[in-house]
Structure 1
Amino acid sequence: MDGINSFLRYPLEELPFILIVLVLAFTIHEFAHAYAAYKFGDPTAKQMGRVTLDPRAHLDVLGTILILIAGFGWAKPVPVNRGRFKHPRLMGIVVSAVGPLSNLLLAFVGVVLYHVFAGTGVLDNASVGVVKAVDLFLRRLIELNIVLFIFNLIPLPPLDGYRIIEDLAPSHIRMKMAQNEQWGIFVFLLLVFIPPLNRVTIQPLFAIGGDLIYGMSRIVSFVI
């Protein structure tokens, strides 16, 4: 049991909560991409059964396992044909952005619920176990969705941040990006899987997450 715990990023007893949060986060993230693309005129994701909240259509085994081990991961990418959009670049940016924004929204919902449970006494009569379970679930809901929000905005393929930069870039830059995209994916894999590179590149980005959570908490505490 200790060996398994040392392999995972999170304690084994937290695994059920982590998996529930991941299923929720990945499913809504990919559904947001697919739904936005469909509403903008691209039926590709719809035809492949991706405009759904069924997790089985969206989860990627490797990406899910990796977030348990390394703290970040991914789901199956949604196929998007930007040529079907009335305004390909603008709508492409929106389709790419709604995925990470859905994770930010989920994190915000988690912060709201955390303040509600902490400030209204809803769980005052609940057992210690229930209180701890709710506390842990909401903390992981907030934390993991913030991680996914930040991670997916990294401007490297195949992440959403890269697609946003691609749609923002002038045509001649986009052509060069397309020609060298395979090298960007290679760099991404190196940064993800080589610990020394990961520690000085991707991991420092996650420090922003604490500031985001603090900011959301301040907003919610002011309103509630």
Structure 2
Amino acid sequence: MSSYLYQKIIIIPAILIAFVAQGYARAKMADKLGDKTPRFQGRLSLNPLDHIDLMGFLMIILTGFGWTKPVETNPSAFKRGYKDEIKVTLAGILVNLLVAFITMFILLLWGNFSIRVLPYSIANIGYEMLWNISLININLFVFNLLPIPGLAGFDLFREISPKNFYRYGSKLYEYQIVILLAIVLLGSYILKYPVVLIFSLFAKIAGLILGIFI
């Protein structure tokens, strides 16, 4: 198996976990706040097929940045209006940070102990899978903060600053394909800095708590 194909295959579990965590968290938060739309649409599920957007899935495999199937909500069902909408949006992206942070602890423990009891090849595969789970969840968090239609950043922009949204939102819709292409071409160079910063911070925190370092 070629190194390129191996790297693409080994990130698939990480992508599935990241996408399911995000979709389920948004659906669960909306349901908790009174909107049963995600429940009726089958989004209160841990089945990856209920959350994956095929194009977003392929994009994250090929470029490192992608998106999930949007969780539809009914704003009129929320008791606190846009404040509850913000909670739903934040739940979807913050859960990726939580998964990344928890996985970092498992990663450090695995790297420290697995090599002692398992063959190197198996220990290394497990290490790379855990590494990717943490890294891709951070990637998805950062990417989803961008103010592009279909991403959490776009929803946050609309809900936090409606005046500016209605001023610039139409332009974002109009040029969303151009913006997306620019991110695909340049995003790995621009967005990698916050991703690496967060990853390194999580590694340091987990390392300090466990007394283990990458």
Q: Same fold per TM (> 0.5)?
A: yes
Identity %: 26
Letter matched to residue 34 of structure 2:
G
* 1:152-195 C-alpha deviation (Å, 9 max, x unpaired): 0112222101111211125x4454456x2xx3134332122247
5+ residue gaps in structure 1?
Answer: 6-10
* 1:81-138 C-alpha deviation (Å, 9 max, x unpaired): 112111111111110011111111111122111121234x244120011111111101
1:202 to 1:221, Cα distance in 2 relative to 1, 3 A:
closer
Residue in structure 2 matched with residue 156 of structure 1 by the alignment = 148
Partner SS for 2:52: coil
Residue in structure 1 matched with residue 35 of structure 2 by the alignment = 42
Residue in structure 2 matched with residue 8 of structure 1 by the alignment = none
8 Å contact kept, 2:27–2:43:
yes
Q: Structure 2: how far apart are the matches of 1:161 and 1:207?
A: 18
- Within-5 A mapping of 1:1-224: 11-119=4-112, 121-170=113-162, 172-176=163-167, 180=170, 183-194=171-182, 198-199=185-186, 203-224=189-210
Partner SS for 1:124: helix
Q: Structure 2: how far apart are the matches of 1:116 and 1:17?
A: 20
Partner SS for 1:21: helix
How far residue 54 of structure 1 moved from its aligned partner, in angstroms, is 1.0
* 1:23-78 C-alpha deviation (Å, 9 max, x unpaired): 11101101111111111011111111111111111111111111111111111101
Letter matched to residue 104 of structure 2:
V
How far residue 151 of structure 1 moved from its aligned partner, in angstroms, is 0.2
Letter matched to residue 130 of structure 2:
L
Q: Structure 2: how far apart are the matches of 1:168 and 1:126?
A: 50
Letter matched to residue 87 of structure 2:
V
Letter matched to residue 222 of structure 1:
L
Q: Structure 2: how far apart are the matches of 1:78 and 1:44?
A: 9
8 Å contact kept, 1:26–1:75:
yes
Q: Structure 2: how far apart are the matches of 1:131 and 1:122?
A: 6
Letter matched to residue 191 of structure 2:
L
Q: Structure 1: how far apart are the matches of 2:19 and 2:44?
A: 13
CA RMSD of aligned residues (A): 2.1
5+ residue gaps in structure 2?
Answer: none
Q: Structure 2: how far apart are the matches of 1:113 and 1:188?
A: 37
Q: Structure 1: how far apart are the matches of 2:188 and 2:63?
A: 11
The TM-score normalised by the length of structure 1 is 0.85
Higher RCO structure, 1 or 2 (CA under 8 Å, sep 6+): 2
Letter matched to residue 177 of structure 2:
L
